[in-house]
Chains A and B, each alone.
Chain A
């Protein structure tokens, strides 16, 4: 039972991650692969603050989010200056470089990571309490993002993604919108990191490798990019299914790669068979997502 609850907590954390990632790539149209590193920044910041300063968990988590926001603004400001798909490459470099730094510094625990993060909730109700907190924050995230993208601000984001030049020529600063969307998305990822650190009481660089951005991306795509509920569905499916085979009692040397194979096969199947995702009929939301994915890097024609 405890095991299943833990999986549910993990799902809630990934709902936060995939929803915020969806805000950035699905709605904002910003092709980044650095989402795991902002998750890592949140996790490491709150873990270190918790261990060394004994601050309350909530403050640590918020500080982690703040660090993620600041870092994301730095990345956005430098990478978005160059047109085209450059953000993709710049974010890849940012992700790889920063993780390498984390792996090498003493105070981040090197490749072994940080353990003994203070336990904030004790007793038999620990996991259910975390489930409530993480689930609540996940629901809040989904709601908040829906609020942002369905109001006038969302309209601006959509217009910016559709035709950036025409949007700018209406007197809007596209750069500001991009940076804001990017920072909000990455800040939320930072919160997810903080939750992870305090629940599992252990963080290591392996959990934030660039491959995880492919996993998050898949959750978004599988559910339906540019839809509110898509990333939620995606996170549930992609975490639950590979976990299911843990009940088969395979030896660990077979288990890990098997889970990986199941995961990657799922991703490729969905990529080719249902590129528009699981959620909803061909709604406007989904069309929006599709354009975001299918829009090539070609600039302004004619």
Chain B
């Protein structure tokens, strides 16, 4: 039998590490919910956020706050600019889903090639040393990084929740995601809402990349793996259910951590895709348990072209 302390340790570390994926999933899932798009360009924004912080900290030798601000501004503006000059143009042309798919994926790839050219393929960390002071509480090692990560994720997700619940702008977001056309009739600009969403996604991405870059090495290619994990969590949580997606991200990270006990680490990535497979074939609308729990938090998914539309006539 495995020592309960070990299990607890795995649980804690897994949960703390999941903060990164939680933030990225919220960014990805929120965008999917509001705009209806699977925005893979977010991989590019992740790269931009990380290397902006890296540049300010290491080449310019400026303090952390400046770096964070630079990362946030760069990621959010990249995200908003993509919305304004890319996605809006495609929307105006009534492009199909494949067009959006190519555009976001190619844009991400383009950004990553540029970053490769500028910064090389070596893994980089934000600080020279990524050792984080550790304290032992009840037999479990808890590092400063862990605390920082969990706090950041909890605070940001809570803020988003309050934003969606309590502010006018947040209500607009929910309205547009439910029915963009109807929302426009009530005088809410979908365009503006999409841009606000893009900016929020940029902030979440920057926070996640700060955590990622203070924990281990980041290469221009790592954002791709991250965006794919976010896609999987979004699917598991169910499209349009942002907070269920965040929960799915935690569960995924925990399952991956605990799987070390049973299977070799080589198969850990595969496990992630195994979940993706099962979700896609068995739970095309996400896991229903999560739906019950999060009904209050997230509105039901916007369905795509289901035959029920036919009944509206006559």
User: CB atoms of A and B under 8 A apart anywhere in the complex?
Assistant: yes
In the assembled complex, the Cα of A13 lies from the Cα of B26 at a distance in Å of: 40
Interface assignment of A294: CB less than 8 Å from any CB of chain B: yes
Interface assignment of A84: CB less than 8 Å from any CB of chain B: yes
Count B interface residues, CB 8 Å.
Answer: 47
Interface string of B81-97 (1 = CB under 8 A from A): 00000000100011111
A33 nearest CB across to chain B (Å):
6
A166 nearest CB across to chain B (Å):
12
A294 touches B94 (CB 8 A): yes
Output the nearest chain B residue to A88 by Cβ-Cβ distance.
Answer: B97
A8 nearest CB across to chain B (Å):
25
| Contact among A88, A264, A298 with B98 in the assembled complex (CB-CB below 8 Å) | A88
Binds A, one of B100-108, B207-215, B241-249: B100-108
In the assembled complex, the Cα of A292 lies from the Cα of B99 at a distance in Å of: 10
B38 touches A299 (CB 8 A): no
Output the nearest chain A residue to B109 by Cβ-Cβ distance.
Answer: A264
Interface string of A101-140 (1 = CB under 8 A from B): 1001000000000000000000000000000000000000
Interface assignment of A90: CB less than 8 Å from any CB of chain B: yes
A294 touches B93 (CB 8 A): yes
B12 nearest CB across to chain A (Å):
28
Interface assignment of B128: CB less than 8 Å from any CB of chain A: no
Interface assignment of B310: CB less than 8 Å from any CB of chain A: yes
Interface assignment of A253: CB less than 8 Å from any CB of chain B: yes
In the bound complex, residues from chain A placing their C-beta under 8 Å from that of B232 are: 93
**Given known contacts A211-B105, A299-B309, A84 and B280 CB-to-CB distance under 8 angstroms:** no
Q: Classify chain A's interface size.
A: 35 or more
In the bound complex, residues from chain A placing their C-beta under 8 Å from that of B307 are: 83, 165, 299-300
In the bound complex, residues from chain A placing their C-beta under 8 Å from that of B228 are: 96
A296 touches B94 (CB 8 A): yes
A299 touches B96 (CB 8 A): no
Interface assignment of A302: CB less than 8 Å from any CB of chain B: yes
Binds A, one of B140-148, B153-161, B194-202, B268-276: B268-276
A268 touches B103 (CB 8 A): yes
Binds B, one of A59-67, A185-193, A254-262: A254-262
**Considering the complex, which residues of chain B in the window 256-298 have a beta carbon less than 8 Å from any beta carbon of chain A?**
266-267, 269-270, 273-274, 276-277, 279-281, 284
B284 nearest CB across to chain A (Å):
5
In the assembled complex, the Cα of A302 lies from the Cα of B269 at a distance in Å of: 45
A214 touches B106 (CB 8 A): yes
**Considering the complex, which residues of chain A in the window 247-276 have a beta carbon less than 8 Å from any beta carbon of chain B?**
253-254, 256-258, 260-261, 264-265, 267-268, 271-272, 275
A93 touches B110 (CB 8 A): no
**Given known contacts A84-B305, A217-B98, A302-B313, A97 and B273 CB-to-CB distance under 8 angstroms:** yes
B304 touches A264 (CB 8 A): no
Interface assignment of A221: CB less than 8 Å from any CB of chain B: yes
**Given known contacts A296-B94, A297-B305, A217 and B110 CB-to-CB distance under 8 angstroms:** no
Interface assignment of A293: CB less than 8 Å from any CB of chain B: yes
* 18 A–B contacts, CB within 8 A, in A order: A25-B98, A31-B98, A78-B281, A83-B306, A93-B232, A93-B276, A93-B277, A96-B228, A100-B269, A217-B98, A257-B117, A260-B110, A260-B113, A267-B102, A268-B103, A268-B110, A292-B96, A300-B309
> What 17 additional pairs, Cβ within 8 angstroms, besides A261-B117, A275-B93?
A78-B281, A79-B280, A82-B284, A83-B305, A90-B281, A96-B273, A100-B269, A104-B267, A257-B113, A264-B109, A268-B107, A268-B110, A295-B96, A297-B97, A298-B305, A299-B305, A299-B309
